[in-house]
Amino acid sequence: MAIISALHMATAFGILGNIVSFLVYLAPLPTFYRIWKKKSTEGFQAIPYSVALFSAMLYLYYAFLKQNSIILITINTIGCATEITYLTIYFIYATKQSRVSTTRLLLFFNVSLLGLVIVATYFLARGHQRVIAVGWICAAFSVTVFAAPLAIIRQVIRTKSVEFMPFYLSLFLTICAVVWFFYGFLIKDYFIAGPNILGFVFGIMQMTLYVVYKDRKQQILPATVAETKVHDIITGAGGDIIVELKDLDHHQSQDDNSETDRPNKHDLEIVVLDYGEQVVRGVVVLQPNKEPNVIA
């Protein structure tokens, strides 16, 4: 009776895992909607999606070797199709340099490395030993999938902005890790259960970082500076540069003991809002008879 109960619970967690994993695959949809709308990949990277595609293909191979793993086959087939769709959109709107680097990444992971795993395990292992070998490899790369969003943590800490770290992706990855841990534990497949412990830890780290930085904004100008936006967009030869031109009116405080009032000083501020992936957003303040002052 206990064995039947465990199998039923494993099936339930497996179905729930499929549902949650599908939501994980849908989590980047706002990101790619933004890419499509702006016709630019901005600061987003293709690394998480390349690694996720490799992991889905690897687990698909593992599921076929293990047999009777329809739950794993279903979700990883959906995963492959979803990640290929995301990468296709990324290629359409990415810069030439990003396309080249992503192509190299895909050739390394999904052609060379996956091919090496299949060939090596086919000739060097037999029967159940082949399943174990592929299981260890899957477990190792499951960790990289959970850790893939950590690639932007340095950027989040440096810019104090979580703009390029989707919160819902981290949230669903954490929930997904919990569900798949119980599925793997109940069917005694520790190649599935083990990595999801680290997946849970990584997810908590990412969400903690989001909570810390989500309300923080870089203060570019003092609060006493009044600004009036003059114009919004400039088109350059290398592409559209989205900027703001602002007339800054620095209201000088008057000293009660001063004999004369100082005139207001007017500067022109150019705020670079967006220029693909190549230019870091910043501020250029132009003052009369002075060199441009760049505020990163």
DSSP-based three-state secondary structure for 145: helix
- The gap from C-alpha 132 to its chain's centroid, in whole angstroms, comes to 31
Tokens 């206990």 appear where? 2
Pick from 160, 172, 146, 144: nearest CA to 29? 172
* pLDDT in the model for residue 168: 72
| pTM (2 d.p.) | 0.64
* pLDDT in the model for residue 226: 37
pLDDT 10s per residue in the chain (296 long)? 455 678 889 999 999 999 999 988 887 888 898 899 989 888 788 887 888 898 899 999 999 998 888 999 999 999 999 999 999 999 999 988 889 999 999 999 899 999 999 999 999 998 899 999 999 999 887 876 666 666 667 777 777 777 767 677 778 778 888 999 999 999 999 999 998 998 888 788 878 888 888 777 543 334 433 333 433 433 334 444 344 444 444 444 444 444 444 444 444 444 444 444 444 444 444 455 555 555 55
Quote the crossing angle between the two packed helices 190-213 and 127-147, to the nearest 10°.
0
Torsion angle of C-alpha atoms 90, 78, 130, 140, degrees rounded to 10: 50
